[in-house]
Amino acid sequence: MAVLTKVDVEFYGVPRQRAGVDRVQLAFATSSVAAADVMDLLLQRFPTLRNGCLEDGWLHASCTANVDGCDFISDPATPLSCGQTLLVMSADAGG
């Protein structure tokens, strides 16, 4: 597969528990990648994310995502560029 886009994914909270790793790099053969594409591949790599983190191709309501530590996203169509980092985390931030 010719890799055109690489996206780093960092896990925090319950998604880190479920994935069993802190981070992973995903490679895509397409030049444009949507956040939903990343979630699909994550589910293939880490089926345990189905347990309360990912469902129906997107995040469970108890989880959220952020791009590069800046923008939180809720739209599965959000485009991601090569080299960007997607943070997948528990949504609740109560202390």
Distance CA 2, CA 24 (A): 19
Binding residues for other proteins, total number by CB under 8 A: 28
Distance CA 36, CA 58 (A): 6
Name all contacts of 69-77 with Cβ < 8 Å and 24+ positions apart: 73/35, 75/35, 76/34, 76/35, 76/36, 76/39, 77/34, 77/35, 77/36
Q: Near other proteins by CB under 8 A, which window of 1-9, 25-33, 34-42, 47-55?
A: 47-55
Choose between 30 and 75: whose C-beta lies nearer to other proteins.
75
Note whether 64 binds other proteins by CB under 8 A. yes
As beta bridge partners, residue 80 has 33
In the list 73, 76, 82, 84, the residue contacting other proteins (rule: CB under 8 A) is 73
Note whether 48 binds other proteins by CB under 8 A. no
Note whether 36 binds other proteins by CB under 8 A. no
Interface residues toward other proteins, by CB under 8 A: 10, 12-14, 17, 51-53, 60-62, 64, 66, 69-75, 87, 89-95
